[in-house]
Amino acid sequence: MEHRVPGRPWDNNGPLTAAEQRFDELLRQGRSEVRRSDESVRTLDVHATNFAREREIRGDYLSRRLIDSLEEGGWRPFSKRSAQQLVIPIENAVITGQVDLRAAELPYLLEFVHCRFEHAPDLRQTRLAGLVLWHCRFPGINARNLSVTNDTVLRNCNSIGGIVDIADADLGGSLVLNDSELRNPGARAVYGDRLSVGGALLGIRLQVAGEIRIPGAKVGGNLTLSGGALRNRGRYALNGTGIQIGGSLRLDVDPLTRRPFTVAGKIFLPSAHISGDLRMRDAVLEPGVSPPRRGESKYDDPTSTLIADRSEVRGDVQLDQGFRSGGTIRMVSATVGGDLRMSGAQIDLGWLRSPRASVEEPLRAVHIDGTQVLGNLEATKVEFRGQFRMTDVRVGGSFQVNKAKLDGPRTDVLLASRVVVGSNLDARDADITGSMQLQGAQVGANLDLRSAYLTKPAWHRHRMAYKASLDLRAARIERDLVCAEGSRKFRAEGTVQLRRATIGRQLNFWGCVLGDGTSTTAINAFGVVTQELTLFPSEPPRGRVTLRQAQCELLADNAELWDATGGVDVEDFSYENFTTPFEIADHDRVEERLAWLRATTGGKYQPGPYDQLANVFRGNGNEEHAVTVLIEKQLRRYQAIAKATRPAFRWTVRLWSLLQRITVSYGYRPLRALAWLLLFGVVGTVWFSFHELVPINQDDHPVWNPLLYTVDQLVPIINLGHDGMWQARGHSQWITVLLIAAGWILATTVAAGISRGLRRER
């Protein structure tokens, strides 16, 4: 039996189909309890190409019927007195034509199950109690300014070749897109500018070919796309500029199927505000290649997979465990209220450019300049092919790069200038291929590079030389800097640059291998200030070791350090003591250290290192060791004077130096002068005992005394009257001259030694 309503616009379109009759019967029931469609009707295959006539519901009929149910009292199936918002189900139907409910206000929850829409439903400015589409197919939905009081569900749905347009929609409950597929390749699949969702936005296992565009959206709960797959290669896969999320943004593994979240395209989240966590654990991101845009800055990252500049995440950012990315992770000037976790992540940009081209224009694996991380930055066991750029970053807790593999040969693979770390910065057992740039870094506790390998330092194309493997110029480390042996030796092929660095407690280079010969300097510690300096390389550094103007309280070193191929520069290097103190009987150790100083000066006279070493010995009460050092200093001084003297007079300087060294040790051992005086006195007395002199005046009848005559000649400040009473001739005359000269020299030396001793006492 056909059901017709006279005077209706569809009267001339033929009889009602079976599906329309079922819908009409539902409306005529007028029951507060909704009755489902006949269970005998088979489930509709929404993807089929041919459908039976009885499956069809005309879109204009459906629209008019819903609207008229409210306008005409005789047709009103539901009483306004009922507080319950009723469900109107449409099941297993093919809806032809367009469903036009624009600006309609329906106090129903419309539920479409196993329905196929031939045209995109028009729900612009529509007000509904709820909207549910299960296992439906449609060519997009036009729902701008849609207002829904409860949940909006598009579950297990397929949108093929159209846009789900929900811009400016106000959804009071949650928006559920679980297990749906939205396909509009190369264009927008979801257009949701300024979308407002009172609850959560769920797209678990959602598959999208095209762009999800939701800039300015507000989501009261979580935005979850766990297990989803977004495909818009080379373009924005998810555009969430300025999005505000009251919960967490979850782009991780689906807990049901264990399928990870995957993206081919960009996740664009600048200026986003996320009250919870940003979870991308085990996610797989592929950028695709997009052509450069006009006016694009060289500081941009065109091959990015995640862009979250100026974003604020109050919880953790989880890019860890099985996280994979083929493009740059960019979070410039962002704020992370918890931890930034990247442990176990792999980011590979090696596919985009050859290693040679990367030297000229480095690729960035991670770019987080100016970001603040209030918790910890965890990058343990990461594998990055590309630059880890984090200049001016502030980390409230610790920064962990233990067992990391950073691969950027001949580039600045870790660029962290002026980084501020509240606690430890650890890179133990790390393999760093490239340079670590940490100029001006501030570390609140330890900087631990134990067992790290730093190879293939960056190339400076302007200076045409290699940069430092580790650059800590002007850095401040409150406790220890450890570049020591652990599970393996610490190795740095390029320079370890520590110029003007300040280390609060210990600078430790124990069991390290420094330099590979390509750089002239192995360690540059010019102006370093620390309490304890340990320089114990396992083999001689291949390059120069610069300790000029460095300061420490305790020094520990070994012979390998002083065998550095480029020598050791210790001019103005000051230290107060040795870690292993010198005993009074350690003459061999003193001679060994003097040999180190001789070897490192390169024949130049440098008094500073000798004065410093002597001051250390003197401060420990080892005056004899200090004298030994100062004697060595004077020997080097006279050697330098001889080199600067004209060749014809050099022998005189050397002779004078030899005489002083033999006689009184340059005045530092005045007692030796007394011994020489006694020796000359004995020799003179013996000589004159056998060679009696002739008196000058025979009438005075002087009494000859060889001892008194010798003493009178030898001691210039004492006159016993014998020097003017006797006349020396022949050999005795020259012996007298020798005694007078030796007396003056030795007396002057004794006086100088006594005055030095008095000055030291003062």
pLDDT > 70 fraction of the chain, expressed in percent and rounded: 89
In this predicted structure, what is the pLDDT of residue 310?
A: 97
In this predicted structure, what is the pLDDT of residue 423?
A: 97
Residue whose C-alpha is closest to residue 318's, from 237, 226, 406: 226
DSSP element (H, E) containing 224: strand 223-224
Q: Which of 115-129, 273-287, 686-700 has the lowest mean pLDDT?
A: 686-700
φ, ψ of residue 648 to 5 degrees: the values are -70, -20
In this predicted structure, what is the pLDDT of residue 81?
A: 41
In this predicted structure, what is the pLDDT of residue 299?
A: 65
In this predicted structure, what is the pLDDT of residue 737?
A: 83
- Bigger pLDDT: 658 vs 336: 336
Beta-ladder partners of 507: 481, 533
In this predicted structure, what is the pLDDT of residue 508?
A: 97
Contact assessment for residue 497 and residue 520, using Cβ atoms and an 8 Å cutoff: no
In this predicted structure, what is the pLDDT of residue 82?
A: 45
Q: What is the mean pLDDT of residues 484-493?
A: 96
In this predicted structure, what is the pLDDT of residue 721?
A: 61
In this predicted structure, what is the pLDDT of residue 190?
A: 97
- Bigger pLDDT: 222 vs 690: 222
Q: Which of 126-140, 146-160, 495-509, 740-754 has the lowest mean pLDDT?
A: 740-754
Structure tokens at 354: 């050859």
CA–CA distances in Å: residue 61 to residues 14, 31, 71, 240: 12, 21, 15, 38
Residue whose C-alpha is closest to residue 537's, from 574, 563, 516: 563
CA–CA distances in Å: residue 50 to residues 62, 181, 219, 220: 21, 21, 40, 42
Question: What's the number of CA atoms in the CB half-sphere (13 Å) around residue 229?
Answer: 7
Under DSSP, the state recorded for 666 is G
- Confidence at 27, pLDDT banded by 50, 70, 90: confident
Contact assessment for residue 130 and residue 106, using Cβ atoms and an 8 Å cutoff: no
**pTM of the complete model:** 0.86
Beta-ladder partners of 95: 57, 117
Q: What is the mean pLDDT of residues 589-605?
A: 86
Question: Using only C-alpha atoms, what is the Rg of the chain?
Answer: 46
CA atoms of 285 and 157, how far apart (whole Å): 24
CA atoms of 388 and 346, how far apart (whole Å): 12
Task: Classify each residue of 406-421 as buried b or exposed e, where b means 16 or more C-beta atoms within 10 Å of its C-beta.
Answer: bbbbbbbbbbbbbbbb
Contacts for 39 with CB less than 8 Å, ≥ 6 apart: none
Residue 208 clears pLDDT 90, i.e. is over it: yes
* DSSP character string of 667-709: GT-HHHHHHHHHHHHHHHHHHHHHSPPEES-GGG-PPP-HHHH
Q: Is the dihedral of CA 570, 571, 572, 577 positive or negative?
A: positive
CA atoms of 63 and 77, how far apart (whole Å): 16
Residue whose C-alpha is closest to residue 183's, from 162, 165, 213, 157: 162
pLDDT > 90 fraction of the chain, expressed in percent and rounded: 63
CA–CA distances in Å: residue 584 to residues 77, 569, 612: 112, 28, 18
In this predicted structure, what is the pLDDT of residue 338?
A: 97
Q: Which amino acid is it at 108? A: Y
In this predicted structure, what is the pLDDT of residue 724?
A: 67
Contacts for 643 with CB less than 8 Å, ≥ 6 apart: 650
In this predicted structure, what is the pLDDT of residue 482?
A: 98
- Bigger pLDDT: 213 vs 758: 213
In this predicted structure, what is the pLDDT of residue 116?
A: 95
Residue 377 clears pLDDT 90, i.e. is over it: yes
Question: What's the number of CA atoms in the CB half-sphere (13 Å) around residue 192?
Answer: 25
CA–CA distances in Å: residue 334 to residues 292, 315, 396, 622: 25, 13, 14, 59
Q: What is the mean pLDDT of residues 548-559?
A: 96
Q: What is the mean pLDDT of residues 679-683?
A: 84
Contact assessment for residue 707 and residue 677, using Cβ atoms and an 8 Å cutoff: no
CA atoms of 333 and 371, how far apart (whole Å): 4
Task: Classify each residue of 723-743 as buried b or exposed e, where b means 16 or more C-beta atoms within 10 Å of its C-beta.
Answer: bebbebeeebeebbeebeebb
* pLDDT tens digits along 146-204: 999 999 999 999 999 999 999 999 999 999 999 999 999 999 999 999 999 999 999 99
CA atoms of 592 and 82, how far apart (whole Å): 103
Torsion of CA 191, 193, 196, 202, to 10 degrees: 40
In this predicted structure, what is the pLDDT of residue 269?
A: 97
- Bigger pLDDT: 666 vs 401: 401
CA atoms of 289 and 304, how far apart (whole Å): 9
Q: Which of 162-176, 220-234, 718-732 has the lowest mean pLDDT?
A: 718-732
Per the prediction, the chain carries an average pLDDT of 88
In this predicted structure, what is the pLDDT of residue 96?
A: 93
Pairing status of strand 465-466 against strand 459-460: antiparallel
In this predicted structure, what is the pLDDT of residue 200?
A: 97
Beta-ladder partners of 608: none
Residue whose C-alpha is closest to residue 212's, from 168, 266, 277: 266
Residue whose C-alpha is closest to residue 610's, from 589, 586, 637: 637
φ, ψ of residue 165 to 5 degrees: the values are -95, 105
Please, what's the largest Cα pairwise distance for the chain? 180
The angle formed by the CA atoms of residues 754, 760 and 761, to the nearest 5 degrees, is: 90
Give the E-state strand segments of 598-747 in sequence order.
Answer: 694-695, 726-727
φ, ψ of residue 747 to 5 degrees: the values are -65, -40
In this predicted structure, what is the pLDDT of residue 83?
A: 43
CA atoms of 756 and 759, how far apart (whole Å): 5
- Bigger pLDDT: 74 vs 267: 267
Residue 3 clears pLDDT 80, i.e. is over it: no
Residue 731 clears pLDDT 90, i.e. is over it: no
The angle formed by the CA atoms of residues 349, 181 and 48, to the nearest 5 degrees, is: 135
In this predicted structure, what is the pLDDT of residue 224?
A: 98
Q: Which of 21-35, 248-262, 394-408, 738-752 has the lowest mean pLDDT?
A: 21-35
464 class by beta-carbon count within 10 Å (0-12 exposed, 13-18 middle, 19+ buried): exposed
* DSSP character string of 73-137: GGG--S-TT--S--EEEEES-EEES--B-TT-EEEEEEEEES-EESS--B-TT-EEEEEEEES-E
DSSP element (H, E) containing 57: strand 56-58
Residue 365 clears pLDDT 50, i.e. is over it: yes
